[in-house]
């Protein structure tokens, strides 16, 4: 089985500052990795995913993440955040070659202050 740990439950940051949301996973097999965002009163939306190939993955809204196999991490970064980035962010892992059903972390609340 696989698991995901999101190390920070809440990350406050000022507008236009850079941000990193941390995610570590555990799995005995190869995995796919995902980041989702959930805005208030909305469904989850896929930000980006790592399936294979380049370890630096670029997603929507200026976000990117880097897969680090040796550290079993998949941290999400954005060089300059906006107020509109305030949301809940979920990291998820799925077993490659399986039914692609993801296991989600508990989420990190990103709070962007003006």
Q: Which residues bind other proteins (CB under 8 A)?
A: 4, 9, 32, 34, 36, 41-46, 49, 51-52, 90, 92, 94, 96, 99-107
Shortest distance in whole angstroms from residue 111 CB to other proteins = 15
Question: In the complex, what is the shortest distance from the CB of residue 92 to other proteins, in angstroms, rounded to a whole number?
Answer: 7
Structure tokens at 64: 């990117």
Q: How many residues does the chain have?
A: 114
Closer residue to other proteins, CB minimum distance, 22 or 104: 104
Question: Smallest Cα–Cα separation from 74: which of 83, 63, 85, 82?
Answer: 63
Alpha-helix residue ranges (DSSP H) falling in 1-114: none
CB nearer to other proteins: give 7 or 15.
7
Q: Is the dihedral of CA 64, 46, 29, 2 positive or negative?
A: positive
- Least Å distance, CB 77 to other proteins, is 20
């Amino acid at each position: 089985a696989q698991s995901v740990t999101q190390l920070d439950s809440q990350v406050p940051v000022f507008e236009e500052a850079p941000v990193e949301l941390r995610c570590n996973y555990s799995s005995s097999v190869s995995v796919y990795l995902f980041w989702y965002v959930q805005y208030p009163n909305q469904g989850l939306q896929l930000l980006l995913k790592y399936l294979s190939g380049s370890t630096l993955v670029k997603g929507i809204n200026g976000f990117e993440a880097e897969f680090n196999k040796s550290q079993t991490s998949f941290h999400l970064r954005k060089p300059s955040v906006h107020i509109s980035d305030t949301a809940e962010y979920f990291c998820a892992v799925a077993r490659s070659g399986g039914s692609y059903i993801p296991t989600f972390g508990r989420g990190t609340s990103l709070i962007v202050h003006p």
